[in-house]
Structure 1
Amino acid sequence: MPVSSPPTPAPLSPPAGGPPALRFDTVSKTYRSGQVKALDQVSFDIQPGEFFGLLGPNGAGKTSLISILAGLSRASGGSVSVLGHDVVDDYAEARKRLGIVPQELVFDPFFSVRETLRIQSGYFGVRNNDDWIDELLLNLGLADKAHFNMRQLSGGMKRRVLVAQALVHRPPVIVLDEPTAGVDVELRQTLWQFIARLNREGHTVLLTTHYLEEAEALCHRIAMLKQGRIVALDRTSELLAGRASTMLQFKTDAALPVSLRDQSRITGRIVQIKAHDATEVEHILATLREAACPVEDLEIGRADLEDVFLEIMQGAHA
């Protein structure tokens, strides 16, 4: 069943001055006494009010970067700051301004949803926060679960609570690390509607995701990591305009001709082949006809962010 696209964010307004929301300055991270390099001189800024995507294959260094930002890990070199506050030297102020939704489901089984959010508020010294907690519960579809013990919730509901915990102290910077991995369509839509609203209200959002249609619909700018290095960084529209081309898509049960197989992306019965112009489209169709390869549901469209991502990853040599 196709998944509908997330809501489109409001246009990005230029920052009014002051420090960036997030600054990664030549950040490096090595493990095993320098034998494994997870991050290699990573540098970029995220401006206040931006919806920013951080993409990369597994093992690219995304989790290492977010762990350093969250204070769970120390960089081997370089620095990270949140609205001008260094995450090491000024960690208390940095963490007050940061709300992170982790990949893992982490919860305390002894408290209800509302108690969990009240305790989280207390960590940041926020008192009398029930009005905002009620708003979070309503917007994340948790209002009827407020008095449920955390152990009674499904995995999807627990993930909603993680989002509420990250937002309960109203942080100006929100980090979403694979927030919709393995969750249902309803949660994806509920989450993106609420996060897009917070972004329109001025919150900065950093998103990591393997659902590239989410990044394409939501993010103003995107950075791509491969083997610990930035291999692309630009506005989403520029990434698409600079590399996108015509995409031929069809279904077939037959084996593709060898001349087309290597340039195709095959998912089950669905085949996608990139073509640069109409002449190349006709050549592909002629090759299929000559090979007696029957096709169904033929479509010709533009390449999307997934196509751009694969092209950059295949062409980048870290």
Structure 2
Amino acid sequence: MDDLKRLALFAEVVRSGSFSAAARRLGVSTSAVSQQLRALEQAHGVTLLHRTTRKLALTDAGARFAAHCQRMVEAAELARAQLALAREAPEGELRVSAPVGFARHLAPALAPLLAAHAALQLRLQVDDAMIDLVDARIDLALRAGRLPDSGWAARRLCDFQSLICAAPAYLAAAGVPHTPADLPAHQWVGAPRDGRTLALSLAGPGGAQSEQTVPVRVTSNNQLSLHQMAASGLGLTLAVRADVEEDLQAGRLVPVLPQWQPPALPVWAVTPQRDGQPAKVRHAIEAIAAHLRGLPGVRDAGAPAPPSTPLSAA
């Protein structure tokens, strides 16, 4: 590494035309420049410069060597410029991971960004399983819910409103629940973490709270499949409003106990590191956050999460 520094110093001496001019540009003393050049010549056993009291003159070997040193310096400057560009302009391949149910929001969120930056490419990995960001070379992962402990950085983008809903045909056959106490008697479609029961925490009118444990008849690890099965009349389901808004508007699903609200679902942008984010990641996070805030039933979450925020796959 010291040798590379001496090569860069030699290139600057040749460009500046003197030790003193090179020393001023580099912010070091003239004697330090002279000592480093002497060390470079001694290390390689070649005289690079003829020194006189009036000027410097390159030897033949020095002239050939200087050309290579100059190209090395130019390559380093180009590399620094590329880093600066990465900080300012979105470019290169952006690798994004998202759960299956969430991926539908990414196309409208990122389409304007991709249209505005022709040098930006997108690789989207859709998977409901938690993946290792470093092993999979993921730049940005979208996650929802409570996140397990991790060394990754998490920024809370927004909160999704949740609701209980069902197909009209199911409610016509099984009856409409009127209180939270009616919920355990119904069939449920869901993704319980353990066994085949789902714990519900509901906030009602006047600050009332209700805790219910309901049996899950139909399970899946895929939220999109759960919504489809609920719309087919297989039972009640706990859903994110933004994900089922089209079904609600079309009448395929209807809210159940709308005055009783499940907890909001936080949405996170997860990255392998917090500092030094390239422009492609910063711009993508802002584009996704802005799009999500425009969806129905979404509340802005405000400030980023602290580094110790525990990281769950949606």
Instruction: Please report the TM-score for the alignment, with normalisation by the length of structure 1.
Output: 0.22
Question: Where is the helix percentage greater, Structure 1 or Structure 2?
Answer: 2
- TM-score normalised by structure 2 residue count: 0.23
Between structure 1 and structure 2, the one with the greater Rg is 2
